[in-house]
Amino acid sequence: IEALLMMIENHKQDNIYENFFTLALDLLCIADLDGYFRQLSQSWDVLGYPLEDLIGTQLLQYVHPEDIPMTEEALFRLQAYQLVKHLRNRFRCKDGEYRLIEWRCRRHGDWIYAVVRDMTDISEADKALHASEARYRSVVTSMSEGIVVHAKDGSILTCNRAAERILGLTQEQMKGRTSIDPRWRAIHEDGSPFPGETHPAMVTLQTGKSVS
């Protein structure tokens, strides 16, 4: 935002200023202290509105009702010359759908300058990742086979309930241990010692090859 302000101050009278607003990938905005849009970059068209439809309107009329209180609070902070960053709210598009956007704004004189980023796709990707992780955890937890997850250094990160039952230890008791921890006292089926260095997990970590 500081770079934007410097550019505006230095190039008010030439084409660099206009070109910057035209070509910027982020959504750039200049608004008055009441939140009325005065100038917007071309990238705002991602929301479906012609720029002329947005300019002169108040940003709160597009904000999701549940997000209005925190957006109003951000405006009050800006009026008090406080920097606002990482403000996320849902902004209504022309088709009636909402997109999640993140604001970084500051007041300079009688104007509010903002750099806005569309976070919708990132947010949806995060949700999909969390859902995938939840499904993975559900599958692993319900398996009858014991599963132990190791870090690169061989230390145990987590395990499922079957592993707790088979090994007779809780997940918390296993966390941080490695296969070479002498407390395991592992042996082969014939009763011979089973050194930690030869445990499948350690061999795989050292060689990068699977061990059955």
Strand partners of residue 99: 91
Q: Helix, strand or coil for residue 194? A: coil
Residue with tokens 């690169």: 152
Residue with tokens 């903002």: 114
Residue 24 pLDDT = 61
Residue 9 pLDDT = 57
Residue 52 CA neighbour count, 13 Å, CB half: 0
Give the residue, 19 or 63, on which the prediction is more confident: 63
Is residue 120 scored above 60 in pLDDT?
yes
Residue 79 pLDDT = 95
Residue ranges, CATH 3.30.450.20, the chain: 2-120, 137-207
Phi, psi of 207 (to 5 degrees): -105, -20
pLDDT digits (tens, 9 = 90+) for 133-184: 666 666 666 677 888 888 888 888 888 888 888 888 888 998 988 888 888 7
Angle formed by the axes of helices 15-23 and 2-10, to 10°? Answer: 150
User: Residue 69's pLDDT band (boundaries 50, 70, 90)?
Assistant: very high
Pair 47, 94: CB distance under 8 Å = yes
Quote the pTM value: 0.54
* 2-120 fold: Beta-Lactamase (3.30.450)
User: Residue 38's pLDDT band (boundaries 50, 70, 90)?
Assistant: very high
Provide the mean pLDDT of the chain: 83
Residue with tokens 């296993």: 174
Quick one: CATH architecture of 137-207?
2-Layer Sandwich (3.30)
Is residue 37 scored above 90 in pLDDT?
yes
Closest CA to 44 of 4, 103, 111, 109: 103
Phi, psi of 28 (to 5 degrees): -95, 145
